């Protein structure tokens, strides 16, 4: 069964409530960006990740989340330093 893109978009919005992105510094429409990224990720998942055996898929998903979290952490540190915050 394919992943429903609308459900993914809704879940992104729910997560955004708990950990909001500062969209004010960007000249990008939040809804358009969410739709574009969700569509790209779901398409990649369906084509490349879903066909993998369960164990491989689990490692790919967990390592991808960890990599994105690490990138987010580094970006937040850089932003804090650029704005004179502690990091």
| 9 vs 19, residue with greater confidence | 9
pLDDT at residue 21 greater than cutoff 70 = yes
Cα distance between residue 47 and residue 22, in whole Å:
31
Query: With the CA atoms of 54, 56, 59 and 65 taken in that order, what torsion angle do they form, in degrees rounded to the nearest 10?
Result: -80
Is 57 in the same domain as 40?
no
Confidence band for 81, pLDDT divided at 50, 70 and 90: very high
Smallest CA-to-CA distance from 30 within 12, 47, 43, 8 is with: 12
Is 64 in the same domain as 45?
no
Is 58 in the same domain as 45?
no
pLDDT at residue 37 greater than cutoff 70 = yes
pLDDT at residue 46 greater than cutoff 90 = yes
Is 67 in the same domain as 35?
no
What confidence score (pLDDT) does residue 67 get?
Answer: 95
Is 1 in the same domain as 37?
yes
pTM: 0.78
Is 73 in the same domain as 39?
no
Is 9 in the same domain as 38?
yes
What is the residue range of 72's domain? 53-87
């Amino acid at each position: 069964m394919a992943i429903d893109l609308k459900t993914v978009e809704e879940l992104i919005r729910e997560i955004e409530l708990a950990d909001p992105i500062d969209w004010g510094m960007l000249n990008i429409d939040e809804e358009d960006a969410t739709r574009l990224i969700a569509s790209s990720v779901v398409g990649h998942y369906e084509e490349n990740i879903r066909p993998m055996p369960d164990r491989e898929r689990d490692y790919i998903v967990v390592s991808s989340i960890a990599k994105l979290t690490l990138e987010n952490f580094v970006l937040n540190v850089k932003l804090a330093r650029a704005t004179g915050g502690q990091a």
